[in-house]
Structure 1
Amino acid sequence: MRLSSAIALVGLAATSLFAGVNAETVDSDVLVLNQKNFASTVPAEKLILVEFYAPWCGHCKALAPEYEIAATQLKEHSIPIAKVDCTVETDLCQEHGIQGYPTLKVFKEGVPTDYNGPRKADGIVSYLKKQTLPALSELTADTVSAFSVSDKVVIVGVLPKDSEKRAVLEKVANQLRDDYVFGVVEESEDVKSGIVLYKKFDEGKNVLEGDFDAESLTAFIRTNAVPVMDEIGPTNYANYMEAGVPLAYLFFSTPAERAQFPEIEAVAKELKGKMNFVYIDAKKFGAHAANLNLKESWPAFGVQNVVSGAKFPLEQDGELTVEKMKTFAENVLAGKVEPSVKTEAIPETNDGPVKIVVGQQYKEIVEDQTKDVLIEFYAPWCGHCKNLAPIYDELGALYKGSDIVIAKIDATANDLPSDLPFQVQGFPTIKLRKAGSSEYTDYEGQRTKEAFIEFLDAHAVNKFKVNLTEDKPVTAEDIEHDEL
């Protein structure tokens, strides 16, 4: 299970910073938009990035300086970026469906899409520059050299005009255009025919020669577009998650700790393509060790399956060595290491109105095929979860003894099975696992007793009516009688 994690200036002055832009701004290259100028500014731009923010938001404050730098750098490319204060422009933000801060949207000629790119200046700049290019740029022998260094990672296909592989390259380019720059040329000094991945790190380039399809080309790009061993952080985390291979973390708390394992990079190079290796600064991101079931004691080493979420912490007793890390990583790849499951103890009694679920009993309770199970994934510190608790207890009492189980699990203290078809990304998350099925249905209604009952009446396989006026269950016999 992975849980998601991450950043104002006020003033008015009328100016035009970009062609087609007429917006209010401060002494800044970030445009300030409001209800008056939004409609005249945004649709007029071929491409514009808009941040919807709140001045009190911590993530917005962290983003602000990066956003300013990006705005200045993008100015020379005639790509404006802007912001809207949602504590002032409430109607405008509601119109655009803003539910959290910061929310960033890319508008192309007025049509919005969610921005899911990096939150650092260089990442923002790179992402938006890609949006101005075609998914696959046509190159010549004279332009390929400059194009190959135009971004951190650039993919160039060396393919004849009549090659069927051009269609494969174009398909992959369209799928990955937000992440990488793609071009195609008929001839190149680097390879007679194939794909060249240029990068500003490690060996500088990788070559894929011979036959390829969309799947193998994507794998080639994802594998080689990350360094042999880099330091992981918010700007590159998504790249490793999308790479599709297990990720090995080496936690360090001081430069000296990091430097004491120089041979680990040779291990990372040996296993490249099968497993990615990263350094992680424990002073900044030490809490992530708990996500891998590691103690916050450094240095430390653990592996995560980025597809299933399964975690493999290396035992922290004794001295950490490169040999231990190498053997452990190889054993994880060979399937010789069982995933670690964080779990609370099984409750001594569990006969309350809401069934308590812990990690080691998840499948036994939640995936009991004879029952419909409404399961709440909560966090003890979550205010919304606390507000829901008495309502949820009342709901559990109404269905007690039926084949519809009302249950909850502390998702901060218990791991979920790695084969679940979803990830919990906020609290509370509420889902119905239907009887006789592995299917989960999201609950997105109001958090009232009546709304929950209406939802269960509509979606549960096992039918069980409750009488809200008397707060007493109606039996199956009553249901049959009502239907006659």
Structure 2
Amino acid sequence: MRSPHLFSWLSAIALVTLTAADGASDVVDLTGTNFDSIVNPESLILVEFFAPWCGHCKALAPHYEEAATALKEKNIKLAKVNCVDEADFCQANGIQGYPTLRVYRNGEYTDYTGPRKTDGIISYMTKQSLPAVSEVTLANFDEFTKADKIVAVAFLSSPTDVPGPEFSATANKHRDDYLFGSTTDKGAIDAAGVTPPAIVVYRSFDEPTVEYPYPVVDAKVKDIEEWIQELSIPVIDQVGTDNYQTYAQSGKPLAYLFVDPTDAKSEEYIAAIKPIAAKYKGKVNFVWIDAVKFSDHAKALNLNEAKWPGFVIQNLQKQLKFPYDQNKEVTPEAVDELITQFLDGKLEPELKSQPIPTTQDESVFNLVGKQFEDVVFDDDKDVFVEFYASWCGHCKRLKPTWDSLGDRYVNVKDRIVIAKFEATENDLPPSVPFRISGFPTLKFKKAGTREFIDYDGDRSLESLITFVEESAVNPLDPSVPFKTTVPAAQEPIQQPDHHDEL
């Protein structure tokens, strides 16, 4: 069990009070100028990066204020940065959407993953203020090492011994991901059968006990966290909404075995693939997935027929898909060969695309995957693309404004393209230096370049027009003569994805 102090936050919830009648706020206002001087000395502070026009930010505001007042009693500060006033600072700090909340400890941050209501914020931040490393003794050793799927324990001769400080720093950074404990108890050390100093990970799957295999006195935070992260992923496991992020954050390619759980042979299929998964552990993560429940995901990965088992490799970083031919039997030998070709760079991704439209009658260009490079990488034209999904509510609300933007520049189509791209029905080619993670995403490409600029402003027609006029290379006044004089194309520049709705 985690430290009994974890539940001390209950008393804090009762301390919620309204902000003083004089309008004073307990939320600290931060700017690019004062950020480091205020944030870096704090052992714990929550910072919200927001935009005044953002609806989610407005909904969060009263809860954030009330939580700040309550947490003031526990000496836990809440702060905020207005990213409209501090646009350059927010961009330099990688803020891609609003609101973004980060938990800072002495200048180092982790993402806030808690609730966004008053009591939830109080609960989460109070837990964050408690020790990240629980004390382990012989009395609670067995219970503690079985208390979670991943439990890391440091065995030390004294609390200050290396790698104790690095282990504690790792625990602070990953307190929401894993359970951490530390002990100098001789009984617990003897029960573990280790010689201090040592770090051991206890798992509820695969090999249940794994000791840190490198010189532990040299272990740094990066070494420890990467080792635990690798151990946290089973050889092959079922993937779903509860653990998908674990695989996404690993950065490794993901190999899916789609099976129908009602098929009498489903367990047999999984067992047959497991030795291949073990062979490539550390290079490719393997999972099995319910093909019936997640049939839409199968289609998104270009497994278009309901024929199971099915197999596909996904490059998560580039969102490229490498499905195995559904007309062939999925065998361990076939999977082994497919993985080998993939790792050797000999496998071509399968790109999904809607048919190229026979006509383009609207002012907004209907862009599909097959023509993306030809249209967007046309050096003669500025291009502004909306990446959308048909089911996305924000996209539907944006449509009339985007159509009006197209109408605005309909007489200069030889200079600028206002386009839309249905990103769930079309794949981006590998040459594109970004992938779409939310909708709508708006990106501008200047004529003669391969650089994509994220649009992060409000979605009024006036603001979009201002952005286009400021960003375009070509003259957008039809009365101004236009001759192609753009520079030669440059190499692609990787830009972070901005997303509004996941």
State the TM-score bracket (shorter-chain normalisation): 0.5 to 0.7
Q: Distance in 1 between matches of 2:222 and 2:149?
A: 22
Deviations 1:159-197 (A, max 9, x none): 566665445434433332221123344684444344321
**Structure 1: 5+ residue stretches without partners:** 1-16, 24-35, 41-89, 99-105, 119-123, 467-471, 478-484
1:337 equivalent to 2:360? Answer no
1:116 equivalent to 2:116? Answer no
Residue 11 of structure 2: aligned partner: 19
Q: Distance in 1 between matches of 2:124 and 2:265?
A: 34
Residue 95 of structure 1: aligned partner: 61
Residue 451 of structure 2: aligned partner: 439
Q: Distance in 1 between matches of 2:304 and 2:220?
A: 43
Q: Is the 8 A contact 1:302 1:314 kept in 2?
A: yes
Deviations 1:404-445 (A, max 9, x none): 332221212111235655442433321112345443322233
Alpha-carbon shift at residue 203 of structure 1 (Å)? 1.9
Deviations 1:438-458 (A, max 9, x none): 433222334444332211222
Q: Is the 8 A contact 1:286 1:296 kept in 2?
A: no
Residue 267 of structure 2: aligned partner: 259
Q: Normalising to structure 2: TM-score of the pair?
A: 0.65
Residue 411 of structure 1: aligned partner: 423
Q: What SS does structure 2 have at the residue aligned with 1:408?
A: strand
Query: Structure 1 residues 199 and 377, CA, compared in 2 at 3 Å: closer, same or farther?
Result: same
Q: Is the 8 A contact 2:387 2:421 kept in 1?
A: yes
Q: Is the 8 A contact 1:194 1:209 kept in 2?
A: no
Q: Distance in 2 between matches of 1:437 and 1:177?
A: 43
Q: Distance in 1 between matches of 2:352 and 2:410?
A: 29
Residue-pair matches, total: 381
Deviations 1:41-97 (A, max 9, x none): xxxxxxxxxxxxxxxxxxxxxxxxxxxxxxxxxxxxxxxxxxxxxxxxx99836359
Residue 245 of structure 1: aligned partner: 252
Query: Structure 1 residues 38 and 343, CA, compared in 2 at 3 Å: closer, same or farther?
Result: farther
Q: Distance in 1 between matches of 2:295 and 2:242?
A: 17
Q: What SS does structure 2 have at the residue aligned with 1:242?
A: helix
Residue 459 of structure 1: aligned partner: 471
Alpha-carbon shift at residue 316 of structure 1 (Å)? 0.3
The partner residue of 1:428 within 431, 436, 440 is: 440
Q: What SS does structure 2 have at the residue aligned with 1:377?
A: strand
Residue 364 of structure 2: aligned partner: 354
Q: Is the 8 A contact 1:430 1:442 kept in 2?
A: yes
Query: Structure 1 residues 328 and 129, CA, compared in 2 at 3 Å: closer, same or farther?
Result: farther
Q: Distance in 2 between matches of 1:292 and 1:231?
A: 17
Q: Distance in 2 between matches of 1:239 and 1:389?
A: 36
1:153 equivalent to 2:150? Answer yes
Which stretch of structure 1 is more off in the superposition, 283-292 or 374-383?
A: 374-383
Query: Structure 1 residues 265 and 91, CA, compared in 2 at 3 Å: closer, same or farther?
Result: closer
Q: What SS does structure 1 have at the residue aligned with 2:212?
A: strand
Identical residues among aligned pairs (%)? 37
Q: Distance in 2 between matches of 1:322 and 1:240?
A: 22
Residue 202 of structure 2: aligned partner: 198
Q: Normalising to structure 1: TM-score of the pair?
A: 0.67
Alpha-carbon shift at residue 367 of structure 1 (Å)? 3.4
1:290-309 mapped onto 2 (5 Å cutoff) = 290-297=299-306, 298-309=308-319
RMSD, aligned α-carbons? 3.9
Query: Structure 1 residues 179 and 292, CA, compared in 2 at 3 Å: closer, same or farther?
Result: same
Q: Distance in 2 between matches of 1:236 and 1:458?
A: 43
Q: What SS does structure 2 have at the residue aligned with 1:259?
A: helix
**Structure 2: 5+ residue stretches without partners:** 1-8, 21-55, 65-69, 80-100, 103-111, 116-120, 484-502
The partner residue of 2:387 within 373, 377, 381 is: 377
The partner residue of 1:390 within 399, 403, 411 is: 403
AA at the equivalent of 1:289 = A
Q: What SS does structure 1 have at the residue aligned with 2:292?
A: helix
Alpha-carbon shift at residue 286 of structure 1 (Å)? 1.1
Residue 482 of structure 1: aligned partner: none
